Structure 1
Amino acid sequence: MLKTLQYPYFTIQNSLQISSTDLKNLRKFYAPILCSESILLYEYLRDLTHVNSNESDIFDFESLTYLLNMDIKTLNKARIMLESVALLTTLIDEFNRKTVFVLEKPLDSSGFRKNLLLANKLIKTMGKQNFERLMGKEKNIFLSKAKYLLDASAKFDDVFPLDNSVSESDELNNTFALSYELDSSDVSTKEINLFIQEKLDLNTFEYPNPYEAILKTDSRFFFSQVSGQIPTDSIVNLIKFSKNNELSDPCINLVFYYAYDINGRINYAYVKKIITDLINKKLLSFVQVEKHLDSLQGFRNKGTISKKELYKATYLKSITMNNNTYESAESLIED
């Protein structure tokens, strides 16, 4: 998230076609939690995607200050609010020295019910009775599960502070981002499994790059993302055992990924053997675990680059690009 844009000139495109019905959903469901300036900015950017072919498709963000009657600070706040609820994606084109905006389709009532972050935010803003009146009477077992906000994305947290705490783990090394563990100790296995099933059904896991998911995902969720299954009681107990012996979520996730990559599935006995071996050898840091598993995989696949290394290289490259982009940016907006 940038307080101001590095390159004020921008192009705009839609990820999907945005209809008048989508704009109605925008005003109906998002207006209560966004500022009016955000709604206006979204609709104006949407209009820019419909410019005539003989008009320029490059625009000046700062010119919107007089076109929309907003000062630049208000304009950037409106942009960030849209980003925080996944209505706008902001990309930096370093080569052409411009910004690329991708306008995302607003959720409808069904999508809003299933989005725990937005649903809970809307309930807190207007009350449950008004929420149900707005959405209709259809019940959803997830609406009251505020604990599920443990799975919140960082972009949402930038704008809407959550009650759940997210603790950072030790740095993997000096060249790439911190991994972290989500505190899900107060959420029952039954509740977690319901949430995981929804993610499996809708394929809404936060990190499509497996290496980033290894670093940033609760182990129960990562198990499901890799295997496509709900974790069994044995797997849940193994995760608890591992954490009690000082193995972090990223370390456990590495083992899950390694086991799946080798066997095409996560075999409980095989995973338990690896974890027990790591504990006995006191290989408890992420760097130690990764090095150990890499050596095992290298022994199996001599001269072959593993898929994990390719995912890692892609992730590290994205971090490097982001760091280079953000070095000259101003400090993040604080609530």
Structure 2
Amino acid sequence: MLRNIPYAFFRIKHSSSVSGEDLKNLRKFYAPILGSDAILLYEYLRDLSFSQSDETGFYDYDSLTYLLNMDVDTLNSARIKLESVSLISTFLDEFNRKTLFIIEKPLDSTGFKKNLILANKLISIIGSKNFERLVGRERNIYLSKASHLLDASASFDEVFPESEEDLTITFSHEVDSSMIKTQEIVEEIKDKLSFNTFDYPNPYEAILKTDSRYFYSQISHKIPTQSVLNLIKESREKGFGDPCLNLVFFYAYNSKEVSSININYVTKIVNDLIKKTIFSFEAIERYLDEMLKIKNKVAVSKINLYKATYLESLQREDNQNN
């Protein structure tokens, strides 16, 4: 279970078409169990899955907070509830750093009656008489005893207890700077700087996918000093992912206050974010983007332009694969 979505950009598919009648079943049978927020999120995602075009294939998960008037915790809670009853499935594309939601068709009255877990849950909420009104008076042999049944099956959480380690999404394959010797890093970066052979020319894609040691050199055109390497290592140890640190490097380099990356300035920003327990890439991106616009007195920051170009490339790639 993902408490938070690590990759904000998402695409939606539906395994089978969800009709207006299916939405009636959704509201009738699932609303008492899931609540209105989950129902609203499902219907909104379902609508997006039908309205997708080549131009609007990708969406921003964080934008749902204001489009649906939900805070991020409420949004994630609604998503998790939908996942728990198999109304949506969530998949992560770790290479392209995007999320795929697959919309599943709600059960009808027949399917709901056969699902003892959901049926018993609904009966416990609305009562047997109301349940009969919803699904019809015909009842199978199992549901005739539903009010006396105790669901003794193990839940997923009981079998696989959650740990903080399991819930942590690691953004970089290289977590510890000691995995590659400093001299080897320096030699490789020298070659990349000399021939401009960094893996991702688009800075926004580089922010998402590049090890911070290399990203620092890509935008500053300098070999990382030991103080830079130490900052990267310490930030990782405190749970600050490489994409988040790359954002700070980019912000520091493009801020008018400094002509290059001032490591003390970067350290101050990182420590402030860690102190405020802000580790979400999307939250840091919004925060730094607003600061950059204010400092540089621009309506659109450079990172937004790079981001738009990157999203267009993802869309083209997705169209070619479909």
Q: Smaller-chain TM-score range?
A: 0.3 to 0.5
TM-score, normalised with respect to structure 1: 0.45
TM-score, normalised with respect to structure 2: 0.47
Q: Which has the larger radius of gyration?
A: 2
